[in-house]
């Protein structure tokens, strides 16, 4: 299968593998070693299929050799968490949104589904606004350097919203003049 994948998707590279579940398992290191045949330093992504929080429920890991200080024990591999971000091209996002529109649960009414979707969206928006607020506070306090690109994107975002964020936009504008 790997050889067929390479023929069809020559520009794409295997960087690791994934597993479903909320945490690492004992035999994950054994499977990880098998993937070294396909890439030298594979990445393991754990996907939580029953997430309890908002956001993309994934965690990424790579294996490192742990050397014991007393040298009496044999060294062993262990997983180390690595920061990761999942992105998509615009065409992929549009395709996923189109598919999600057609997914309906017959046990839930349409109104309840819409309200649930709006609630999830508002919680996500609240989380992002808190992140923005925390960033701006750190900039004002001088703990973080001013990043004009971020401020530009904040100003553009505020100008595109139908709600009047004039006081917020003014604050961002005054920060960008610093």
Tokens for 159, please give them.
């100008």
pLDDT averaged over every residue in the chain: 80
Domain with CATH 3.40.140.10 in the chain: 2-82
d(CA 45, CA 32): 11
Report pTM: 0.49
Stretch 33-62: mean pLDDT:
87
Higher pLDDT, 144 or 6: 144
Confidence class of residue 66 from pLDDT cuts 50, 70 and 90? confident
Confidence class of residue 170 from pLDDT cuts 50, 70 and 90? low
For the stretch 1-25, pLDDT in tens is 878 877 888 888 888 999 998 888 8
65 in helix, strand or coil? strand
Q: Is residue 84 scored above 80 in pLDDT?
A: yes
d(CA 149, CA 160): 17
Tokens for 41, please give them.
């330093």
Tokens 């050799």 sit on residue: 65
Q: Is residue 65 scored above 80 in pLDDT?
A: yes
Q: Give the pLDDT of residue 115.
A: 79
Q: Give the pLDDT of residue 76.
A: 80
Strand partners, 43: 16
With contact defined as beta carbons under 8 Å apart, do 13 and 42 qualify? no
2-82: CATH homologous superfamily? Answer: Cytidine Deaminase, domain 2 (3.40.140.10)
For the stretch 99-122, pLDDT in tens is 777 665 555 566 767 777 888 888
Name the residue among 39, 16, 40 with its Cα closest to residue 28.
Answer: 16
Q: Is residue 160 scored above 70 in pLDDT?
A: yes
With contact defined as beta carbons under 8 Å apart, do 172 and 152 qualify? no
Higher pLDDT, 69 or 36: 36
Percent of the chain with pLDDT over 90: 8
């Amino acid at each position: 299968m790997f050889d067929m994948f390479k023929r069809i998707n020559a520009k794409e590279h295997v960087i690791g593998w994934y597993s479903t579940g909320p945490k690492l398992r004992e035999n994950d290191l054994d499977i990880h070693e098998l993937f070294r045949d396909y890439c030298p330093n594979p990445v393991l992504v754990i996907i939580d299929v029953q997430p309890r929080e908002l956001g993309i429920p994934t965690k990424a890991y790579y294996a490192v050799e742990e050397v014991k200080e007393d040298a009496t024990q044999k060294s062993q591999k262990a997983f180390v968490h690595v920061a990761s971000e999942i992105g998509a091209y615009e065409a992929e996002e549009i395709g996923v949104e189109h598919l999600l529109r057609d997914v309906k649960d017959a046990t839930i009414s349409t109104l309840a589904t819409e309200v649930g979707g709006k609630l999830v969206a508002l919680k996500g928006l609240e989380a992002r606004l808190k992140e923005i607020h925390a960033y701006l506070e750190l900039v004002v306090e001088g703990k973080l350097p001013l990043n004009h690109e971020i401020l530009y994107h904040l100003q553009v975002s505020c100008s595109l919203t139908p709600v009047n964020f004039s006081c917020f936009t003014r604050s961002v504008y005054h920060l960008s003049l610093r």
